[in-house]
Structure 1
Amino acid sequence: MNATASASPAPQPRSLIGTWRRFGPFGPVYEIVAIGGTTSQGHATMRVRVIETGEEIEYRLADILDDPRER
C-alpha cells in the first residue's frame, strides 16, 4: 500500500463553509463564510470572517487547511 492510498483526501471547499478555525495556534478565531476566488499566483481562496473584528477577508485555502479547527 502506498502513502497516497492511506492519506485522507482534502476536504471540499464547500464543506468548510460554516466551520471555525484559528489563525495558527494562538491567533484569533475566524468563520469560513464563502468560497473565494483565486490569487494572482493561482491559489484558491475562501472568504472568512474574523470573529474579534467582524472583518471579512480572502484567505488562502491551503492556509485554512493548515490552521487548527476551533470548537
Structure 2
Amino acid sequence: MDSQMPTPQALIGTWRRFGPLGPVYEILSAGGKLTGGDRAMRIRVVESGEELDYRLSEILEDPRDR
C-alpha cells in the first residue's frame, strides 16, 4: 500500500457510503489478506444492520460519511 493510504486499522470505527447516494456503512474490523494484495474488512450496513466482508480497495473508493 502507498504510504498516503490509511491503514486498515485506522479505518475501523469510521463511516462510508456505497457510492455517492448509497447506504452508509461502518467499518468494524480488519480481516485477512486476499489474493492480489487486497484485504477483507468487516462492515455493518447501518440501514439493515447486516454485517458482511468488503474489500479494502472498494472501501477506499467509497466516499466518507459523517
TM-score category (smaller protein): 0.7 to 0.9
* Unmatched runs of 5 consecutive residues or more in structure 1: 1-6
- Give the structure with higher Rg (CA): 1
| Secondary structure at 1:64 match in 2 | helix
| Secondary structure at 1:15 match in 2 | helix
Task: Give the aligned partner of residue 45 of structure 1.
Answer: 40
- The number of aligned residues is 65
- Shift of the 42–9 alpha-carbon distance from structure 1 to 2, 3 Å rule, reads closer
Task: Choose between structure 1 and 2: higher strand proportion.
Answer: 2
Please say which of residues 37-46 and 11-20 is displaced more in the overlay. Answer: 37-46
* 1:7-46 correspondence to structure 2 within 5 Å: 9-39=4-34, 42-46=37-41
Could you tell me the TM-score, scaled by structure 2's length? 0.87
| Matched letter for residue 22 of structure 1 | R
4+ runs deviating over 4 angstroms: none
Aligned-CA RMSD value: 1.8
Percent of matched pairs sharing the same residue? 60
* Unmatched runs of 5 consecutive residues or more in structure 2: none
- Shift of the 55–15 alpha-carbon distance from structure 1 to 2, 3 Å rule, reads same
